[in-house]
Structure 1
């Protein structure tokens, strides 16, 4: 149950909290995964280069990360509800504008606005967990919300493939706005403010600087942020390169590609269930250490198969399954662990953690935009690289400071 000491009456039932978390966190895979099958098509229709096409993802993620540094303190000062209302409304408007973008430049602009608006939803979701729960239970609740995210991600890529095939890529972008509008309606209808006491000093520069410095210097925050950022960067490597590899290199149709991505999400959902079982039995440190073994095994196997000439859907997806199960454990533990030490500054801590994750993903997106060479190697070697860093973070930093 939510913390009774922080609220005389629990503001929302647990089921509603998990549903809201699923929708708010799920806005991220909807924004990326549903859009992925459309990338090769819109690249051709808008006469865009590979680097420009990748920028519609990487610019979105950079604005997503940077905006959280603004949304976090705003939500600590004014509460989660007004930030959610502004952010989701802006997202809906940006989605509508992106569907009528006349060229790749305007599409990049509106995707950047989408990313900034998405930051409000995802940042608030992480902060809400800290508002209502202690760190260990928060990791369990976060894993439930991320299970919902996994279901949404599972449906997103197939839906994107079907919409792109049947109606065109612009309708895939329109679907993003419809999802956000439904989430906005639920927030208006059922969401109750979760901030126990608004921080009147949250936006004062001296106080803000002190808060950022305290969070950034905290070893527990750094350990879990390293874990969550490397894990997300590994996932983003797969997502950003996947449509070009599976459709362009391996010859899958957009519908079959959607099915592959749905399978990827199922593996992630399994990981979130495994996460809850491991947390109940062994706690956070042991859980992430065991998950790191899966992650490193998957990344190493994927790289080894591709380097020895085994190039097929199975040669990528079997190792990717191991990576995604590990990802389903690392993300709940990493995101809740990074925010856990800061009950009075959960918005700021969530924002800084999100910013770090998106900087890692943006850098990888830029690298992929310049190194996609018509082979599977940028994807497979990229996942291997991040798998190694995930294991190092889980086996050293989290064990010492988590």
Structure 2
């Protein structure tokens, strides 16, 4: 009853600037509230979890998760510069994104089981060390081939940080409180894809493309240093059989054989592919085709990302009133309108940066509606295999993103047509896949 009185709130800066940031006050409240929750998980005196009330746990979780958006968004403005620096076509430069995505997606299938068997801390630290080293290799890469290889290795380290962050939430907090932790973290995480491209644009203008990777290396090195000092082991119940092949294959078979999994995972992955087409192609189209200054690119991309934030708000408002099935259909219809509208405008001869921003905003708005429903619908039927389901869904997302990114790079021809065709095709597929969800599943969701 009085456990909160025993704990002090961490020494988080409370300057006027910090206090004005979205979610700052809720972040401070979260520290106080969840210190009590952490203490309730301690069954014996002095286990590592007892340190959680004093460690900046939530800030560490945010830092781990922030590596993923920063790893892509911080250097988007540098993609055209990379092509010029190495004298290679856009399709080759796109591989620095596509290989990162495929590495991240594949690693999801093994990071979770490894941390279940060997513990969160060693897997996390190994991942962060790999990420720091790979970032340095990226910044010093003498060729595009070496940069692509370094980006793949960077993805493996990034995946370890993100997956372990999710596992830490499960370890440290009771289920009814973990949602609040994730919500608080998400408020801050939403700043990364907005601030990242803006900072990256200025780094590109001032120092060139290598500066973005140097910044990633510096940030991850700081995260590693704090983790070495303050991150205890949170997995108190290690599973020596977590990496046994027979058990893994059985879980994969169970999830992949579920119609409910595919009914949600496929449209969710297609929706992610739609936004990834803009992530991978927007810098070339805006900067090279539509002559938008490099220093402005970050603001253009931030406008698009604000669509995703708006979509999540709309989704949260619609779910209690009309249910997930109808909300999912609204999201898929928005995807269809975004893709087909973009294609129709380009076919009509419109080639303006405002059209590009409108299409990107609507596509990300649709994903903001689609993603929460797809994620929940694909994972919730498997309480005993939630990690496996989430990993398979993530791998599917990244596989489609890899395919889309490769196609975007290969078809770039100095016009808006390739991106518009891809966007329209994905919009049609998203709409069709959601409309084809069996009536029994839709009724159960509603």
Aligned partner of 2:414 among 339, 352, 374: 374
Aligned partner of 1:151 among 169, 191, 205: 191
- Residue in structure 2 matched with residue 8 of structure 1 by the alignment: 41
- Residue in structure 1 matched with residue 329 of structure 2 by the alignment: 289
CA contact (8 A) 1:227 1:394 kept: yes
Aligned partner of 2:106 among 66, 71, 89: 66
- Residue in structure 2 matched with residue 232 of structure 1 by the alignment: 272
Aligned partner of 1:306 among 335, 346, 351: 346
Q: Deviations over 1:134-154 (max 9, x none)?
A: 5x9877765654443321000
Of structures 1 and 2, the larger Rg is shown by: 2
| CA 141–293 in structure 1, closer or farther in 2 if over 3 Å, else same | farther
Deviation at 1:186, TM superposition (A): 5.2
- Residue in structure 1 matched with residue 393 of structure 2 by the alignment: 353
- Residue in structure 2 matched with residue 208 of structure 1 by the alignment: 248
C-alpha RMSD of matched pairs (Å): 3.1
Aligned residues: 400
1:122-161 to 2 correspondences below 5 Å: 122-127=162-167, 145-161=185-201
1:329-340 to 2 correspondences below 5 Å: 329-340=369-380
CA contact (8 A) 1:144 1:272 kept: no
Deviation at 1:184, TM superposition (A): 3.6
Q: For residues 343 and 37 of structure 1, what CA distance do their matches in structure 2 show?
A: 41
Q: Are positions 1:92 and 2:125 aligned together?
A: no
SS in 2 for 1:360: helix
Deviation at 1:281, TM superposition (A): 4.1
The runs of 5 or more residues in structure 2 that have no matched partner are 1-32, 43-48
Deviates more, 1:80-89 or 1:33-42: 80-89
CA contact (8 A) 2:101 2:155 kept: yes
Q: For residues 277 and 189 of structure 1, what CA distance do their matches in structure 2 show?
A: 41
Deviation at 1:363, TM superposition (A): 1.0
TM-score by length of 1: 0.88
The runs of 5 or more residues in structure 1 that have no matched partner are none
Q: For residues 67 and 292 of structure 2, what CA distance do their matches in structure 1 show?
A: 26
| CA 331–175 in structure 1, closer or farther in 2 if over 3 Å, else same | farther
SS in 1 for 2:392: helix
Q: For residues 431 and 61 of structure 2, what CA distance do their matches in structure 1 show?
A: 27
Deviation at 1:305, TM superposition (A): 0.8
SS in 2 for 1:48: coil
CA contact (8 A) 1:35 1:172 kept: yes
Q: Deviations over 1:13-62 (max 9, x none)?
A: 8xx77655543333222111111111111211112232221111111111
Aligned partner of 1:198 among 232, 238, 250: 238
- Residue in structure 2 matched with residue 23 of structure 1 by the alignment: 63
- Bigger relative contact order (CA 8 A; separation at least 6): 1
CA contact (8 A) 1:46 1:104 kept: yes
Q: Deviations over 1:204-247 (max 9, x none)?
A: 11111111111222333322321331121111101111111000
